[in-house]
Homo-oligomer: A and B are copies of this chain.
Amino acid sequence: MSVKRHAAPAELQEKMIGALLRVPFQETVRRIDADLDAAGFADLRPAHFAVFQHMDPGGTRLTDLAERAQITKQSMGYLVDYLSRAGYVERTADTRDGRAILVRLTARGDDVTRAARASLGRLESEWEAILGAERYSELRRTLTVLGEAVERK
């Protein structure tokens, strides 16, 4: 699916931090979606990205995927079912716990991850050009500090 850039929304005079983070975050999603379309993965929609983003290399349990993506286990189940039918993920037994089922990427799923990383790499270069190398590095450092504080809490 191709996602159009959002129309200008109603905003407060002074944007709150939620909106300030949302606009560039949504742009990363939109760009990856457009580039995946062009790379032959047109059956993927932004909702599916959460599965790829939160997947560990050896596979991840559905419950953990849902928790990391902040959606219900049922919603994550729908996404995984779709991606499984489309050949991007497969279910496999957890070798550390035979009763548990892991979801993991197929070779085609790995191709998606590589294409998405390449897409983000191009976007990073563009943003570095807009902000200048120093300011862009500082943005990355600040977001890293903030992210670590959030995850540590």
Contacts and interface: CB of A to CB of B under 8 A. Distances in A.
Categorize the interface residue count of chain A.
35 or more
A145 to B, nearest CB: 7
Interface stretch (A14-22, A83-91, A94-102): A14-22
Nearest to A63: B7
A22 B16 CA distance: 16
Given A7-B64, A9-B53, A127-B146, A28 B17 contact: yes
B20 A21 contact: no
Contacts of A130: 145-146, 149
A150 B21 contact: no
A143 B140 CA distance: 11
Contacts of A8: 151
Contacts of A79: none
A38 interface: no
Given A10-B54, A131-B145, A146-B131, A20 B70 contact: no
A94 B149 CA distance: 45
Contacts of A64: 7
